[in-house]
Structure 1
Amino acid sequence: MNAESGTITEFSTVMLVEDDKVLSSLLKSYLEQSSYVVHQVFRGDQAARSQIKIQPDLIILDVGLPGKDGYKVCHELRATYTGPILFLTSNNSEAEHLAAFNVGADAYLSKPVSPQLLSANMDALLRRLRDKHHGKNRQKLTVGEITLTPGEQKCEVNGNDILLSVFEFELLSLLMFNAGKVLTRDDIYKLLLGREYDGSERSVDVRLSRLRDKLISQGVVKTQVKTIWGKGYLLSADEH
């Protein structure tokens, strides 16, 4: 991403992982007209290697890919890639949405999708990424064993770096800035997704559960993301 650019999309690099070559070419043409730099990948088992080579700002990922399906690809990418991943697939069930978020997706769109809706989602994801790199608040924030450096999107647990996706970092930042305070689902949806909670969607619950598991696996013991039934979530730290 061009740090000096006045627009979000200009010169942003996109890795498009889509096996339908006709659709891939159409998307590539549209995105290039919107000033994106687009690299096409047609197989799931080539995605991780291509990501290391391309270093994209954003990844668009299909599910039904030859060689390796999109869920496995996303899980593999999240071992090293912290940028936004947008699923674009014909699967539209709630289970498919939740499966995508559970492996680290930041957004999920169903085919067919209008170019305008795709662009709007990409802009929102890249805006979050830009704000993380160029945000005003660059001071470290520490709660319990966890330390965040917002300006660098850096997360440390007991001094060791851990990889978080853009959304996971935003979610953890929100919880840490409000440590000791209950955040309702509506709070989280409005602050992070810019929309109201509809009362039934579980995407944030799934991603919060994934974040909690990731922190625990990295040795976080004193700091807990607690579910306050009927209310929301709370981050607490036992200092003793």
Structure 2
Amino acid sequence: MPNFLLKIFVAVVATAGHVVAAEDPCSLEVISRCSKDVFFYAVKPFASTTPEDVEADCRREQKAIECAEHFEKSGCIKGGLLIGMFKLIFEGATNEHLGKCEVGHPRNKDYHNHVKCINKVGKRLGDCMRQMSSIMEASAQQAPLANRVPYTCCALGVYQKCIENTIATVCDKDHVMYARSVIRGIAGDFQDTICAPYKKKQCDSLPKLSLKKAKYPTLVPSLLENLRPIG
């Protein structure tokens, strides 16, 4: 092989080793990154306490919400049921974010009044989120389509109970009620509409799932993985 051709061949091979396929903009990893800054102790074992740090958190939350909105508007979510669920959750998250991040707003005051005590169990609260994700991910692998929505709703109930019981070990009832109000602020419309039929009795009657460590730190990619087949 002539010398110049050999050099071209070597250059092409070397370049090929560095080529990385473009990420699918509708992948679950994309929405996982979008949503990690939105939910209660999802990736950090503590919540910010100083006004400066809370302001920085709020900027990250706003970007995360915009990222999720772009994901939905780009056509990454198919089917009326799934789009409805996604919008309910992120509309709730947006409203909760706006209240928490507006200085002087009652939700901003509530946040600062409660966050220091709740931080004592921040890591365990993250475990509550991952438990919920693991239920949805197991449902995606093991449950028939007819049971996917029930498992999703029941997983949300497990999450709320886990959060409340965990906070109750170190804080008073007022802190538990604050945490409940945050969950209700984000997922209340979802709970009151799509999940309304699924109470404790219905959840207890579902077949037990074999749970593994959650792949995703928040409920959103797990919810999409679980419900995409039924739209």
Q: Fold match, TM over 0.5?
A: no
Higher helix share: 2
Higher strand share: 1
Identify the structure with bigger relative contact order (alpha carbons < 8 Å, sequence gap 6+). 2
